[in-house]
Structure 1
C-alpha cells in the first residue's frame, strides 16, 4: 500500500462470558506478523446474503495492522494511533475512527476503562506530554468540542444544544454553526469534556450488548501551534477528530426509526468510501450528516486511520465479512494531507488568528 493512503487496522475482541457459556467458538485467525485476518465459515451449511454455502471456506484480508484478542489498548495506541496524534501536534489534520458491528468493542477501544485507557485518553496524555517538551519559543492553544449524530440530528454533548447545522464558507473548512468550544490547558480538562459528553450521549440496551451507544460521536480537538522563527510568529492550525460510529443493527432485529437511520448513515458512508476508492468524479458527501462531517477526513486533507472492529463468533459471520470489506475499500483511498499555515510571517506583537 502506498504511504499516502488511509491507514487501516483491524481488531478482534475475545469471546465474552455469554458467548463462552453458550458454547460459541471463534471463526477468526488474526496474524499480527502478516497483518492478515482470516474468516472461516463454520463446518455446516449456512445461508448468507450471497447465497447458500456448504462446507468450510476461508476469506482473508490484509491491512496495515491486525490485532487479536490478546492485544491491549496501549499496544494499539503506541503502534497505530500515536503516529496520527504526532502529525496533529506538528500541524496536520488527523482523524481516527472506529467502525464495526454493535458489541465489537469500538467504545472500549476509543474510550477504554479504569485499567485500560482507550485511544482518546491516551491521545490527551500524549498531546500534553509533547507540549511539555517544547521550547519557550513554541506555544499551544487547545479547544475541544464533543458532538453526537442521532437520527440525523447533530447535538452538542456539552451545551446540549440540538439540531446544529453544518456550514461552509468559501475556501474554508466545513464547520458546525454554534458548536461550543472549550479551552483546555491540561489533559484533565480534555478528560472532563469527554466524561461530560459521555453522560449526555444516547445509550440504550440492545440485543447485541447490555450498554450500546446508539449514535455516532465525534470528539474534536483544535490546536493552534505558534512558533517564533527569526523574530517572526508562525501559526499552524490543525484538528484531531476521534469518531466512534454506532454499530449497525441487522434489519430483522428492529424496524424502528433509530436503527434504520443508523443503517442509512453508515450506508452513505460506504457509498462515499466506494466512490473515493474508485476515484469517481462525484462524491456524495451531502447524503448524510456523518459523511459531510467526515469529508475532510476522507478527501485527502487529513492523516486518517480506520479501525475495523470485529467479533469472533460464527453467528456474526455476515457482519464480520461486511466490516472487513468496508475496511478493504477504505484502504484504497489516496490521502495527501497538508500543513495549514495561517499568516506565515506575523509581526512579533501580533496574535495568531483563531481557527474557525
Structure 2
C-alpha cells in the first residue's frame, strides 16, 4: 500500500435469482465451489431413471458440452451472504488502513441488475457497505479523539455520458483538471459530516439525483457511475502534524 507495494483483493459476490429468473426457470451459469473458487457454465443435473430399483443416470448426447471453467479469486461469497458479512470481510479492514494514513478504494463492477447498488447502498432493513464502513469509521474516530482531531468531508459525484455532476447539490457539469495532486474536480466543495446517520440522508438525497433508465434486466437501473469519496484531515493534538487521506467507494456500470 506504499511505494511499489500494492494490495488489491478481487472479491466475487453471487447474487440469488431474481423474480423474473425464477418465473422463467433459467439455468444456473455460475456455481460456488468454495470460498475462493467459482465454476462457470457448470453441467446441468442429469435426468434420472430407475432400472430394477437402482437409480441410473441418463445423459442426453444431443445437449451441448458445458465449458465448466473454474476460476479462483481472493474471496467468493455465495447468494446467502449478507452485506454485513461482506463488510466484515472486505471493507472493515480498510478503515484501519485509512486512519493509518493510506488512501483506499472500493469498486463494485458488473452488468446491470447484478446487485452492485444494493451491495453499496443496501436498503432500510439491510444497510450497504457505504453506511457500514462510515459507521465504523466514526466509531474509530471517536476512540482516537483524545490524541487526534478529525475533519471529515464527503463528495458524491455521478459520471454519465462523460459529464461529471455533483449529486449532493444537483449541479454540473463540473470540469476536471490535473495538478500536482492528480486529477481533481474544479469547484467541488466537500460536505462536512459528523455521523454515519447524517451520511444516510446525504446518500438518499444523492441517489434521487442519479440518472436512471429502465432495462430488460432492471426496472430501476442506475445507468451512471457513482463516486462517493470521504476526505479525512487528521491533526495530531500534541505535535500539530496534519495528514489528509481519502476513501473512495465507487459504483461502476458496464
Whether the TM-score (by the shorter chain) exceeds 0.5 is yes
Q: Which deviations, in whole Å up to 9, do the C-alpha atoms of 1:97-139 show, x marking residues without a partner? A: 1100110100000000122111101011111111121141211
Q: Does 1:8 align with 2:17?
A: no
Equivalences, count: 232
CA distance in 1, matches of 2:158, 2:236: 34
Give the corresponding residue for 2:141: 131
Pairing 1:55-74 to 2, within 5 Å after superposition: 55-74=65-84
Structure 2 distance, partners of 1:105, 1:150, is 19
**Shift of residue 187, structure 1, vs aligned partner:** 1.4
Matched, 1:200 2:193: no
Distance 2:118 2:10 in 1: 18
**Alpha-carbon separation, structure 1, partners of 2:145 and 2:215:** 50
Counterpart CA distance in 2 for 1:71 and 1:57 is: 26
Q: How many angstroms apart in 2 are the aligned matches of 1:54 and 1:23?
A: 19
**Between structures 1 and 2, the one with greater helix share:** 1
Indicate if the aligned counterparts of 2:31 and 2:42 stay in contact, CA closer than 8 A. no
Tell me, yes or no, if structure 1 residue 152 matches structure 2 residue 162: yes
1:225 paired to 2:234: yes
Alpha-carbon distance in 2 for matches of 1:110, 1:85: 16
SS in 2 for 1:131: helix
Tell me if structure 2 keeps the 8 A contact 1:98–1:244.
Answer: yes
- 1:226-263 Cα offsets, whole Å, 9 max, x none, are 123xx4122221101110012x3xxxxxxxxxxxxxxx
Once residues 144 and 21 of structure 1 are traced to their aligned partners in structure 2, the CA distance between those partners, rounded to angstroms, is 41
> 1:159–1:180: 8 Å Cα contact kept in structure 2?
no
Please say if residues 36 and 60 of structure 1, whose CA atoms lie closer than 8 Å, have aligned partners that are also in contact: yes
1:1-356 matches, cutoff 5 A: 4-33=6-35, 35-40=36-41, 54-169=64-179, 171-228=180-237, 231-246=238-253, 248=254
Contact kept? 1:147, 1:218, Cα under 8 Å: yes
Q: How much is the aligned-residue C-alpha RMSD, in angstroms?
A: 1.7
Separation in 2, partners of 1:172, 1:160: 26
Distance apart, 1:54 and its partner CA: 3.9
Instruction: List, as ranges, runs of 4+ consecutive aligned residues in structure 1 with deviation greater than 3 Å.
Output: none
SS, match of residue 242 in structure 1? strand
More strand by share: 2
Matched residue SS, 1:211: coil
User: Matched residue of 2:241: which SS?
Assistant: strand
Alignment match, 1:314: none
| Cα contact 2:30–2:42 (8 A) shared by 1 | no
The 8 Å contact of residues 156 and 180 in structure 1, kept in 2 or not, is answered as no
What secondary structure is seen at the aligned counterpart in 2 of 1:113?
coil
Cα offset, 1:41, TM superposition: 5.3
Instruction: State the secondary structure of the residue aligned to 1:212.
Output: coil
CA offsets, 1:120-166, max 9 Å, x none? 01011111111121141211000011100011100011122212111
Q: C-alpha displacement at 1:25, in angstroms?
A: 2.6
Q: C-alpha displacement at 1:174, in angstroms?
A: 2.0
With the length of structure 1 as denominator, give the TM-score of the two structures: 0.62
For the residue of structure 2 that corresponds to 1:96, the secondary structure is strand
> Normalised by the size of structure 2, how large is the TM-score?
0.86
Runs of 5+ in structure 2 lacking a partner?
Answer: 45-62
8 Å Cα contact 2:43-2:68 kept in structure 1: no
